[in-house]
Structures are given as C-alpha cells and as structure tokens.
Structure 1
C-alpha cells in the first residue's frame, strides 16, 4: 500500500517505523529537514521537506495515488486542510489528528461535508482508556472488544493468590462464567498457554471474557482489594482532563481538579459545575495534602510536563493507596515507570498511533476476512485480532478441534450476530462471524493465515 504521512513527531515517527516494516511504500512530509532526515535514516521510507498542506508538495509526494493519507502534525488546522486537499487530489482514505475540543464537537460535519475519512483525538482516546482502567483498579491495563461486550485485563498474580499454582484446565470449575487466560508473561518470556500450563506467583496474565464473566473472575480471585473508585483527583486541567471530566461526571464520580492557570481553572469551573476546581500550584505537596489527595480512590497526574507527572505520581503513591495514573507525552520515561510499577502510564500519542496502525492493517487485506480490530500486548509481541469471516475462508463449518491451527495461536471468542461465545472444540466458525484470535506470530493479516 502507498501511505503518505504528514508530520514527523512522536506519532509520525512511530507510524513510519511500523508501517514501513510491513511492506508498505511510505512517504513522509515534514517541514523540518533535520527531523525528516533522522527519520529517513532510521526507516525504509522516502521523504519530502516542506509544508504538508502545500498543493505542490502533496502532488510531489504522490498523494493522488495514495491508498492512505495520514496527517499527524501538532497543528489541527494543518491536519484538517491537508486531509481535505489529499482527498480532493485522489487519496482513497484520509486520517487527521485533531486535539481541539471545539473541532471534535463537529467531527461528524467535518467528516461528511469535507470528506475526511477519520478524525482521531489523542486525549479523548486516552480518556476512554483511563475510564476502562478505572473499572478494574488492580488491572495494569484494560482493552475492550466486540463493541465493548468483552474485556481483556492485564493482571499480576500476587503472593497468596488463588491463581498461583493453578493449572489452567482446572480453572472452569472455580468460576461460574467462562474466562480464558490467553497470554502469560513470565519474566521476559511470552507464552500462549495450553490447558496443562500452571500459573505462578509474579506471572502477568491477560484474561478475556464477557464483561460479566471478567468482573466475576476479578472479584472471586481476590483482585478487588481496592474499593470501587468513587472519587478522583485530577492534577492538571489540560485537554485530557477536559475529556475525563465529562466522562467521570457522567459516571457520577466525585472529582476535584488542581489547576495552576487562573483562566483554565475558571473555564473548567464554569463548564463542569459538579466538579470541584482548585486554582493552585499543581506541584505544591502541602496544597495537595490540604486538598485531601490521600483520600481519593484514584489520582491522575495530567500536567503538560512529563517529569512533573512522574514526581507527582511518586508523591501520590507515598501518601495514597488509590489507583495512580500518569499522563506521558513522550515515551522516554516509560521504561522507568514500568520498572518501578508505582503507577499506570497513559501515553495519548501512543494510544492514537496504535489505533491508526489498526486502521491501516485492516485496509491492507481486501480479499480475505476483514480485520476489524487489532490490539497489541507485551511490548507488541502479542496481537489480539478480530476478523470478520467471509465466504472464502477455509475454516467455515469445521469443528475447531479439527481445524489445523498453527502453533502460538488460540481462538479466544466468536461473536455470531449478537451472541458472544468462548468456543470449545465442537464449535464451528460460520460466514459473517467475528472471531478473535490471540497470537505471537507475525504477519497475520487474514484469518486463514493461522491455518496450516
């Protein structure tokens, strides 16, 4: 596929790296020549120095024959204008990163009237991720599938857990609703486990099932030692907090925001009457203690400064037993956060780069079963993919126990019409089923790629 990307920031560079590795023809447009050259040196792509909204530059980059055009600069207006121009010139599918809440409220109009295929907001998507995480306070991460019918939870098996020493094939007898432990991280090893696998303390496990089944499993296995999250302190009143406040108030959470800038604090106070907004220095520990940081069920550090967010999270962890979530704008400090495990990091730019990768890969396979959803786990070493099965698939009508499936692959769920099942050996796959697979294999673009 021919893909044109405008903007070589964190998102643009990540897209260039990944999309060029899977046999795409990637052309990058970036106004800063030094930045452009660095990205070209690291990746198998071509580049053009200049304005991504220039008619001449777009033509020179070959936008008229592009399968996908992606605009991810820091400027919303530039992204929107360049996508409109790319569509008019002949790009088949266009994606614009848009952060400003004033634009995102009119997304439907912009998409329909101006021809932008997809508009994606990093902070709004990050807010959705945070809200999923708050449902399960002990989970390291939470991903949703099948239009929010199912979850995958990342959990750590702690000391004295019922799961430690349990053989997976014995797990059904201890749970009313079926769940599947589909991935296990043990040290640096990633395992797609079989029924004979025995869990151990400190394993990181990924559990999937319907929302009710996962919730029951979570409770029964003793993970709900943190009480339900009813109160949240947001430190920083930026764009992420704007989207979070909407969602938290809708869920009837008690919310307090600490924001240093007077105008921003005033605007939030006027917009969200059910939230308490305090104007004050976000890094003032005495202020945070006076505002009761230790009493909140969750604390979210969401200033514009990564280092401040990290220090604030460390302080929150020292005084609170609640869930700590840390916004990161760059990936530089992520290894440190993951090493000490005192918070759950959220990187809005990584969230949207992952979403864009899903969209691009779903467009790559136009003949086989359509890829609907893609999630990645364990430093991208494991993929959970949902395929919509078409009539050409070799799997139709064959009991799963008779399907010759490649190693390191499991079928983790089937959605047939509106019914979601976690299949056994006698179940079959039918046309139009949505089937979720979990795999460590690379290059799975069609469902039949997992068959011998």
Structure 2
C-alpha cells in the first residue's frame, strides 16, 4: 500500500511509525525541513519538503498511485484542500484532520465524499469519546466491548491484596475452571508482556483480560475490586476536549466543568445546559474542596498544560476520587500513569493516529482499538471461508508468539478459546497483537 502523509507533527509522525512497522510505502510531506529530517531518521519513508496543497508537490509524491492520503497538518484549511486536490488527482482514499466540529456534526448534510474527502477526524472529539469509554466502570482502568458486550476487554491494576498477586497463568486457570476470562496482556513498567503458562502476576502490574459477561464479576472478585458505577464527573478545563467531553457525558452523569476564563465560562454555559459550569482556577485546592471533589466519582483534567493535568489528578486521587484521567501532550508520559498514581493518561494526537491507522488494516477487520500505554493493538476479525485460521486446532496453528487470541463470538455468544478450539467461517475473533506481528496475524484471516 502506498500512503502519503501530509504534516509530520505528532499525529503524522506516529502514523508513519505504525505504517513503517507494517512495511508500507510511505511518503511524508511537510514545509519544515527539520521535521522531515527527524522523521527520516526514525522511519523508512520518502520525504518531500513543500506545501501539500501544491499540485507539483503532490505529483512528486505520486498521488495518482496513492492508496491513501492522510492530511494532518496543523492547518484545517490546508488539510481540507489537500484531501480534495489529492482525490481529484487520483488518490484512492483521503482523510483530513479538522478542528471545526460543525464538519463532524453536519457530516451527512455536507456530503464531503462528493467533494473528495472520504473521512474526517477531529482529535478533540475522538479524545472525548475515549474519555466516555474509560468511564464505564470505576474498578476498571480500561473497558472495550465487542458485539455489545458479548465479550469485553478489561484492565485492572494488580494490588498487594489481590488473590491474583504472585500467581502464574496456570494457577489462575485453576481459579477459572470454566474459562470465563483470559489474560491477554500485562503492562509491567514500560514493557508489554504477552502472558503464557509460567508468567506470574506481580504487584503494580496493569493486567488486561478478555472476558465473557459473567466472567467480569468473577475477575473483579479475584482482583479484589468492587464494581462501582460512575455517577458524578468533574472536568478541569474548558478546552475543545473539555467541551466535547461535557457534551457527551452530561446526558448520563452529573457533570461539573471548571474553567478559569470568565468569557469562556459564559460560552460553555450557553452550549452545555445540562452541565454546571464553574469559573475558577482548578489548581486551587480550596476551590476543589468547595466544589465537593471528595464526593466526585471521576476527575478529568484536560487543560492545555500537561503538568497541571497530572498534578490536579493526583490531588483528586488524594481526596478519594476513584477514577482519574489526565490529558497530556507528551506521548512519553503515557507509560507513567500507573507508576505515579493517575489511572489513565490520554494523548489526543495518539488517539487520532490510532483511529486513522484502522484504514490500512487488511483482512475482514470488524473493529480495532488500542490500549493506553500498551504496545499492542486489539483487533476483531471476521473469519472467511477457507482462511488459514480454520485449518487446524488453535494450539497447532503456530500463531505468532507476540500475539494472542482472547476469544470468539459465535451465534450470538462470546467464548474464550482453549487450545483445542476450531474456528469456523463467520466467527468473530478478538486478537491482541504487538505491532511487529500484525501482518502475520492478518494472514490467518485473509
């Protein structure tokens, strides 16, 4: 696949790294030579210095032969223009990054495909949706449902009092004889482990499981966690992410949003009738106490300052808030969340890059997601007639060691997959794979 990326900021650079791991042919366009030089030192890609809206630059990039053009510069206008021009010059598919939410909400009316834009993405609205997903359950650090909950991917921290602490996968299997859940990954410090029989849980491990509906409660019991729903949410920062998060959360939770700019508070109050807007400095601990932070279930910090977001989440955690989410600009911070006490750190550009990445997947992929801080992807495939995955029992398929099958959905029911499992056409298979194994995993489903 030939992919052109216009804009080598955080989104473009991360995409380039993901595509490079796939062995795709990548062309990077940017007007800043230093960005191109830094990118070329890290990824195997051709680089062109110039304006992506230029006909000659796109021609030099081979736009007529491009399978996908992704416009993710810092300029919304340039992204829209680049996608439209590229489509008319022969690019098979185009994606543009935008910031104006009217494009998102009026997508169908605007008929952007007719103009030449196949898809648009807003990092801010995607981050808000990610926050909504992370708030499903206080006891879980992460949660993702397949087929409306027939299977779920869930994450929990392993604490000292957990019955799972110190146990190997084989010992956990004895506690789970009906195989209602399966361990698919462990994040230990900065390392992502794919667990096998002798892998042992340790204190402060961040463990991820694929579970059947009736396996979630059993898993929470073994992890010494209580199932507690989120009812009240406090959002620090009236940024675009804060606005989008408040908008989609206020119809489900009691939402307070704190913003220090008085004018922005008036605007937020007009646009968010179901949320309480508070004018004040969220770094002021007395203000947080006045607004009842100790009674809040979840605290979300999305100001423009990463350090403020992290510190305010730590303050919230110290005041008994069960769930904290901090937005950070530096992607390197993502791995620090477990070690410093913030439940989850998110990066809107990383979320956007991962969302775009799904467009270059092969096989019959139904859904794709990533786990914050984990060097792996979760993919859901639909099994084709005659595909390699159907040829033998799971234990004899020689599936990549840096990938693991967590479960299957068949005839409206979710199952974990023991070694003697045989896959059938139309099965939906949940796989966790490290980046280097994705291409090989896909080959089992083509």
Q: Is TM (by shorter chain) over 0.5? A: yes
- The match for 2:364 is 370
| Inter-partner Cα distance in structure 2 for 1:406 and 1:35 | 35
**Corresponding residue for residue 38 of structure 2:** 38
Which residue number in structure 1 is paired with residue 14 of structure 2?
Answer: 14
CA shift in 2, pair 1:345/1:409, >3 Å: closer
CA contact 2:86–2:94 (8 Å) conserved in 1: yes
Q: Aligned-pair distance for 1:67?
A: 0.8
Cα displacement (A) at 1:103: 1.6
Q: Determine if contact 1:406/1:450 at 8 Å carries over to the other structure.
A: no
Q: Distance in 2 between matches of 1:123 and 1:57?
A: 29
Q: Is the 8 A contact 1:52 1:78 kept in 2?
A: yes
Q: Distance in 2 between matches of 1:178 and 1:275?
A: 39
Partners in 1 of 2:419 and 2:19 — Cα distance? 36
Alpha-carbon distance in 1 for matches of 2:368, 2:397:
23
Find the residue that maps to 1:159 and give its secondary structure: coil
2:437 maps to what in 1?
443
The residue aligned with 1:171 is 175
Query: 1:209: Cα distance to partner?
Result: 1.7
Q: Distance in 2 between matches of 1:441 and 1:74?
A: 27
- Could you say if the C-alpha distance between residues 147 and 67 of structure 1 is closer, same or farther in structure 2, counting changes exceeding 3 Å? farther
CA contact 2:156–2:223 (8 Å) conserved in 1: no
Scaled by the length of structure 1, the TM-score of the pair is 0.87
Judged with a 3 Å threshold, the aligned counterparts in structure 2 of structure 1 residues 403 and 334 are, in CA distance, closer, same or farther, namely closer
Normalised TM-score (structure 2): 0.88
Partner in structure 1 of residue 390 of structure 2: 396
Q: Is the 8 A contact 1:395 1:448 kept in 2?
A: no
How is 1:37-436 mapped onto 2 (pairs within 5 angstroms)? 37-108=37-108, 109-146=110-147, 149-166=150-167, 167-173=171-177, 178-186=180-188, 190-194=192-196, 198-211=200-213, 213-215=215-217, 217-218=219-220, 221-224=223-226, 227-251=228-252, 253-334=253-334, 336-360=336-360, 362=361, 365=362, 369-376=363-370, 380-396=374-390, 398-416=392-410, 418-436=412-430
Aligned residues: 441
Shift in alpha-carbon separation, 1:224–1:123, aligned structure 2, 3 A: farther
Q: Please give the root-mean-square deviation of Cα atoms over the aligned residues, in Å.
A: 2.8
Structure 1 gaps, min length 5: none
Match of 1:256, SS?
A: strand
How far apart are residue 275 of structure 1 and its match?
Answer: 1.1
Question: How far 1:168 moved relative to its partner?
Answer: 2.2
Q: Secondary structure at the match of 2:304?
A: coil
State the Cα distance separating 1:348 from its structure 2 match: 0.9
Unaligned runs of 5+ in 2: none
Greater relative contact order (Cα < 8 A, sep 6+) = 2
Partner Cα distance (1:380, 1:186) in 2: 10
